[in-house]
Amino acid sequence: MKLGTKLRVSLFVKPPGWIRKFSAKMIWRVPVDEPVLYLTFDDGPVAGLTEWILESLNQFGAKATFFCVGENVRKNPELFAKILDGGHAVGNHTYSHLNSYRTRLSIYIKDVHRAHKEIGSRLFRPPYGRISLLAARILNRHYSIILWDVLSMDYDRELEPRMVMYNVVSKARPGSIIVFHDNIKARENLQYALPRVLDHYSRAGYRFLPLDEKLLKDQNPAS
Ligand SMILES: [Zn+2]
């Protein structure tokens, strides 16, 4: 498999049918044999932050995945284009940043499809990391559902910026999917932690790659 990343397919062996019937497929981490990390940025694109993130990534030759909110893409088409021009991946984060637990199923699914018209990705991340089993099973037909194994907590304004950095460097390992936010609420923490995380792992020989839609789809076939 190209991409410089060898995937160990064994971790994705299908469970028995009766388990599949009551579960949905979600990806928390990518099994890799190399020092690779997957940075992800939720909620953008947003004026006053997305460009700074793109510049910071550029300084380290890093690629990432932006889980965009459809209405923000609509408001900021030039920023969305810049993300794509930079060679980064994009994913669907609903059109209106809906909470699956508090939204009627049909409205939730429609909102995801509406976002798809703006974003055009087969990667999906549910806002708040919450998704009902039924919604997940429906979306699995078209999307790879991407969660994470490392949460920076950058959106928590009570948290000191150095703790946000610590949340990442204490937990990340090869193949980790790390969550940051392209959201003004997270700006102070992000602007402290992101350059340091990029520097720390670059020195340790890590590369930062975008999540690859096709590769993940192969791991996550329609059920
Ligand atoms: Zn979000």
Least confident range from 79-88, 179-188, 211-220: namely 211-220
- Specify if 136 maps to a domain: yes
Given a contact cutoff of 8 angstroms between Cβ atoms, the answer to whether 44 and 68 are in contact is yes
Q: 212: which residues sit within 8 A by CB, 6+ positions away?
A: 3, 89
Q: Is residue 14 one of the residues assigned to a domain?
A: no
CA 22 to ligand 1 centroid distance, Å: 26
How many angstroms does the Cα of residue 1 sit away from the middle of ligand 1?
A: 31
Q: How many domains, in total, are found in the chain?
A: 1
Cα 181 to averaged position of ligand 1 atoms, centre (Å): 7
Q: What is the mean pLDDT of the chain?
A: 90
Q: Say how many Å lie between the CA of residue 15 and the centre of ligand 1.
A: 30
Distance from Cα 75 to the centre of ligand 1, integer Å: 16
Tell me how far the alpha carbon of residue 18 lies from the centroid of ligand 1, in angstroms.
32
Separation between Cα atoms, residue 114 and residue 134, nearest integer Å: 19
Side-chain-side CA neighbours of 8 within 13 Å: the count stands at 10
pLDDT at residue 9 above 50?
no
Could you tell me if residue 18 is inside a domain?
A: no
At residue 4, what is the residue type? G
pLDDT digits (tens, 9 = 90+) for 172-189: 999 999 999 999 999 999
Tell me the C-alpha distance between 204 and 209, whole Å.
15
CATH number of the domain that residue 60 is part of: 3.20.20.370
- Band the pLDDT of 215: cuts 50, 70, 90: low
Q: How far is the CA of 67 from the centre of ligand 1 (A)?
A: 8
CB 141 within 8 A of CB 222: yes
In a domain, 19, yes or no: no
pLDDT score recorded for residue 17: 61
What distance in angstroms lies between residue 32's CA and the mean position of ligand 1's atoms? Answer: 26
6, part of any domain: no
pLDDT at residue 191 tops 60:
yes
* 5 found inside a domain: no
Structural domain that includes position 132: 24-219
132-148 confidence digits (pLDDT tens):
999 999 999 999 999 99
The answer to whether residue 158 is domain-embedded is yes
Find the length of the chain: 223
